[in-house]
């Protein structure tokens, strides 16, 4: 998309004959749509199809407005901080073209065939090896009384211990399925998740805030659970890890070359489906599948680091995340990465003394519906501070990984003084206090970063820790 608009401006610059001819739909705007919109707005895709040029022209006003407001294509990251893989946002030149077209009264020009765009894949081709069904055979009818329904389904990982190197979700019914997040659950804890699943009526369980059932968000339910399993909530939350996700417009997501996330034999998956029921009343989702690329080993094992504060998740009790009625409040948490070395070693299964460096590949902000804006920053041992992600206008529907074109390489020696932080700003327009917690009327503040571990090269020196 960037290339073509550069080309476009080069062409405009090269023709300095009097005032520029007005932009028109077929020559100037239609190519923007075929390259940036049709990948989602097609007959099998989301919302409505833009494949027919004439029909699409009928919606010209709305299209121009959403483009100029930077609401479409959906891309929450503020420009100017990082180069992201698969950046959907339109550059300023393209916006200028659309603006001058709208100002000229949307001239149509003369019809011509579309040039088909090549969407391409960010990190190379997607070759799935394992395919898993998510839903029961009869499918799932989203909750018809709510406009958003978050439902979690448990799926057994069928493979042996292996590394996931690529992921794709194929929603059975894209009229209702909006996005998918997959959490991996440690084998030893899978029975607890099954029990929670069985206790809730219908297929799966309601899970707005992540992998855990919403009903554990109430004080009484939490107390009852902790009575049965002392420290049970903590065990539940620390035994699931963000594995992968899908949102409209993402096809196969291939993890960076040479990296992958380890899944143990016997592990389970919690698949969180976000449904829109109001757009397609009465329609079920049937036949949703997950496809995985796997390898038996990878050069640089990876994981998603989840950053938050546990006491935020029980804020009615802890009082640490409180957003009074009618106010805006910000909350921040950061980690010196050196403090987490033991945890990184556990997740990657690389002994601490063999960790040579970390590669930080992505940032991913997570809040609920009172989220207003947020930033994720990296402070290096040199004191230099970099904005990894800034989302000036939060939208729960479009959360995703923002992967850097070049990973941030953090040498082991620098980790003690390398600080990764997330800051969330919430706005509470209601008459009630909003607390941090798991429920849909509560708030969360998370960063998820994909981090790969570089192992020190083995040497022949028997004293070298990498040989042990």
Distance CA 365, CA 389 (A): 8
Identify the CA nearest to 370 among candidates 304, 440, 421: 440
Pick the binder of ligand HEC from 5, 28, 74, 444 (CB under 6 A): 74
76 sits near ligand HEC (criterion: CB under 6 A): no
Give the nearer residue to ligand HEC in terms of CB position, either 39 or 304: 39
Chain positions 226 to 255 lying near ligand HEC, rule: CB under 6 A, are 248-249
Residues 80-139 that bind ligand HEC (CB under 6 A): 88
Residue length of the chain: 468
Residue 73: CB minimum distance to ligand HEC, A? 4
* 72 lies in the site for ligand HEC, by CB under 6 A: yes
Query: Exposed, middle or buried by CB within 10 Å (0-12, 13-18, 19+), for 415?
Result: buried
Choose the stretch contacting ligand HEC; rule: CB under 6 A; options: 29-37, 149-157, 181-189, 372-380. Answer: 29-37
Q: Using the rule CB under 6 A, which residue among 6, 7, 10, 62 binds ligand HEC?
A: 62
Placement of tokens 């291939």 in the chain: 254
Buried b (16+ CB within 10 A) or exposed e, 356-390: bbbbbbbbbbbbbbbbbbbbbbbbebeeeeeebbb
Q: 26 or 419, CB closer to ligand HEC?
A: 26
Is residue 63 involved in binding ligand HEC (CB under 6 A)?
yes
d(CA 115, CA 256) in angstroms, rounded, equals: 30
List 8, 29, 37, 305, residue binding ligand HEC (CB under 6 A): 37
Structural contact between residues 294 and 252, judged by C-beta atoms closer than 8 angstroms: no
Rounded CA-CA distance 312/318 in Å is 7
Copy the structure tokens of residue 40. Answer: 């989602």
CA distance 370 to 158: 38
Of the candidate spans 59-67, 231-239, 286-294, 381-389, the one that interacts with ligand HEC by CB under 6 A turns out to be: 59-67
Residues 332, 330: Cα–Cα separation, whole Å? 7
Are the beta carbons of 211 and 258 closer than 8 angstroms?
no
Size of the site for ligand HEC (CB under 6 A): 19
Residue 224 touching ligand HEC (CB under 6 A): no
Candidate residues 66, 68, 189, 333; the one interacting with ligand HEC per rule CB under 6 A: 66
Confirm or reject binding of residue 31 to ligand HEC (CB under 6 A): no
- Site mask for ligand HEC (CB under 6 A), range 364-403, x = bound: ---------------------------------x------
Using CB under 6 A as the binding rule, whether residue 41 contacts ligand HEC is answered as yes
Nearer to ligand HEC, 209 or 249 (CB): 249
Q: Distance of CA 226 to CAs 211, 221, 234, 235, Å?
A: 18, 9, 9, 10
The CB-of-46 to ligand HEC minimum distance in angstroms stands at: 4
Interface contacts to ligand HEC, rule CB under 6 A: 33, 36-37, 39-41, 46-47, 62-63, 66-67, 72-74, 88, 248-249, 397
């Amino acid at each position: 998309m960037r290339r073509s608009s550069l080309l476009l401006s080069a062409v405009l610059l090269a023709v300095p004959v009097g005032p520029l001819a007005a932009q028109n739909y077929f020559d100037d705007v239609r190519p923007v749509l075929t390259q940036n919109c049709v990948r989602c707005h097609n007959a099998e895709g989301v919302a409505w199809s833009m494949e027919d040029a004439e029909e699409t022209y009928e919606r010209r006003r709305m299209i121009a407005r959403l483009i100029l407001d930077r609401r479409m294509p959906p891309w929450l990251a503020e420009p100017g901080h990082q180069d992201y893989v698969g950046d959907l946002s339109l550059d300023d030149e393209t916006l200028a073209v659309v603006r001058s077209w709208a100002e000229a009264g949307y001239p149509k020009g003369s019809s011509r065939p579309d040039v088909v765009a090549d969407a391409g894949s960010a990190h190379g081709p997607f070759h799935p090896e394992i395919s898993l069904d998510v839903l029961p055979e009869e499918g799932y009818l989203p909750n018809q009384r709510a406009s958003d329904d978050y439902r979690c389904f448990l799926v057994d990982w069928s493979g042996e211990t292996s590394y996931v190197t690529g992921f794709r979700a194929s929603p059975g019914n894209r009229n209702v399925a909006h996005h998918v997040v997959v959490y991996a659950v440690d084998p030893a804890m899978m029975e607890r998740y099954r029990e929670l699943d069985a206790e809730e009526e219908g297929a799966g369980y309601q899970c707005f805030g992540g992998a855990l059932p919403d009903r554990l968000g109430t004080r009484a339910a939490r107390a009852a659970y902790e009575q049965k399993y002392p420290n049970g909530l903590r065990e539940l939350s620390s035994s699931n890890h963000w594995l992968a996700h899908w949102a409209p417009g993402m096809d196969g997501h291939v993890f960076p070359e040479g990296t992958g996330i380890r899944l143990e034999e016997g592990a389970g998956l919690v698949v969180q489906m976000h449904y829109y029921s109001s757009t397609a009343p009465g329609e079920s989702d049937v036949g949703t599948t997950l496809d995985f690329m796997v390898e038996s080993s990878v050069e640089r094992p990876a994981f998603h680091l989840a950053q938050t504060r546990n006491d935020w998740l029980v804020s009615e009790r802890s009082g640490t995340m409180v957003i009074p009625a009618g106010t805006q409040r910000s909350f921040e948490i950061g980690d010196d990465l050196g403090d987490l070395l033991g945890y990184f070693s556990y997740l990657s299964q690389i002994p601490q003394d063999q960790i040579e460096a970390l590669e930080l590949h992505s940032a991913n902000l997570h809040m609920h519906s009172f989220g207003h804006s947020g930033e994720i920053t990296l402070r290096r041992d040199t004191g230099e501070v970099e904005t990894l992600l800034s989302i000036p206008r939060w939208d729960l529907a479009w959360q995703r990984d923002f992967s850097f074109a070049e990973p941030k390489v953090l040498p082991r020696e620098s980790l003690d003084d390398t600080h990764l932080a997330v800051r969330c700003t919430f706005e509470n327009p209601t008459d009630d206090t909003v607390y941090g917690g798991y429920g849909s009327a509560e708030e969360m503040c998370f960063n998820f970063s994909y981090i790969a571990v570089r192992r020190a090269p083995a040497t022949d020196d028997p004293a070298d820790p990498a040989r042990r």
